[in-house]
């Protein structure tokens, strides 16, 4: 899921300077789980904006803000409020805010900062294990990603800074290369550690990423 954190209310109010009528859009997926844009956070934002003299013309927590067609449907559902709104405050990731961008020409502002694609370890405990490099090499590394989990992204590690299994960049964090070594040992595939890996081909993730797959209709018989 996409991990987000709330923007400070002062930053949001600065962005809303000169505007009164605000429409707040939350997200029922990632932003609900990360507690940045679910029903509760939307209600809290209403209270904060109203305390600052703003008028909240409507709120909605969309099933998933990254579904662009859903955002268009929401604006049709709240047509009158959408017309009154001077600004749309989006409590979800940046992708969600840009879904709304595609649905209206008005001022759209994010209420969160988007951080990373995260695994949920337990409630409100998230960790980045994949940074979407576009060319997955996990099989070479015991399914522990050095691109993401090694602070230096080393494909041929470890560096000289490993200490007692921890990373020199953050001593609270396990050294990914110690984890990789231990895992490959458990699998009896330590020979992988003797290989030298070529630099990664970063062209695999040229931005913006796109993927379109259209299945051709079966030919009529
Ligand atoms: S190599 Fe790492 S960053 Fe790349 S796709 Fe695989 S898990 Fe994700
Ligand atoms: S100590 Fe380990 S995880 Fe940290 S940068 Fe060096 S090899 Fe990577």
pTM: 0.92
Walk along the chain (221 residues) and give the pLDDT tens digit of each residue. 999 999 999 999 999 999 999 999 999 999 999 999 999 999 999 999 999 999 999 999 999 999 999 999 999 999 999 999 999 999 999 999 999 999 999 999 999 999 999 999 999 999 999 999 999 999 999 999 999 999 999 999 999 999 999 999 999 999 999 999 999 999 999 999 999 999 988 888 889 999 998 766 666 55
d(CA 11, CA 111): 9
C-alpha 170 to ligand 2 mean position (Å):
9
Closest atom of ligand 2 to 169 CA is 4
CA distance 176 to 138: 12
Looking at the CA of 130, name the nearest ligand: 1
127 lines ligand 1 (CB under 6 A): no
Ligand 1 pocket residue status of 205, Cβ below 6 Å: no
Ligand nearest to the CA of 136: 1
The response to whether residue 145 sits with its C-beta less than 6 Å from ligand 2 reads no
Closest CA to 59 of 36, 34, 77: 77
Indicate which residue's Cα is closest to atom 5 of ligand 1: 136
**Residue 178, token pair as written in the block:** 């110690």
């Amino acid at each position: 899921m996409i991990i987000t954190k709330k923007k400070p209310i002062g930053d949001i109010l600065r962005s809303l300077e000169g505007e009164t009528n605000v429409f707040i859009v939350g997200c029922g997926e990632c932003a609900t789980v990360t507690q940045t844009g679910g029903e509760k956070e939307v209600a809290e934002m209403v209270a904060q904006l109203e305390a600052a003299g703003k008028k909240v013309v409507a709120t909605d927590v969309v099933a998933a803000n990254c579904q662009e067609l859903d955002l268009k449907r929401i604006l049709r559902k709240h047509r009158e409020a959408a017309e009154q709104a001077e600004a749309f405050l989006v409590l979800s990731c940046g992708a969600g805010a840009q879904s709304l961008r595609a649905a209206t020409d008005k001022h759209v502002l994010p209420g969160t900062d988007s951080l990373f694609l995260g695994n949920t370890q337990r409630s409100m405990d998230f960790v980045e294990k994949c940074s979407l490099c576009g060319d997955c090499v996990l099989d070479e590394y015991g399914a522990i990603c050095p691109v993401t989990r090694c602070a230096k992204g080393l494909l041929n590690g470890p560096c000289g800074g490993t200490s007692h299994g921890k990373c020199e960049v953050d001593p609270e964090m396990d050294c990914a290369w110690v984890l990789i070594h231990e895992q490959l040992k458990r699998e009896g595939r330590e020979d992988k550690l003797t290989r030298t890996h070529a630099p990664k081909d970063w062209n695999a993730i040229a931005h913006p990423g796109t993927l379109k797959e259209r299945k051709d209709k079966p030919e009529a018989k």
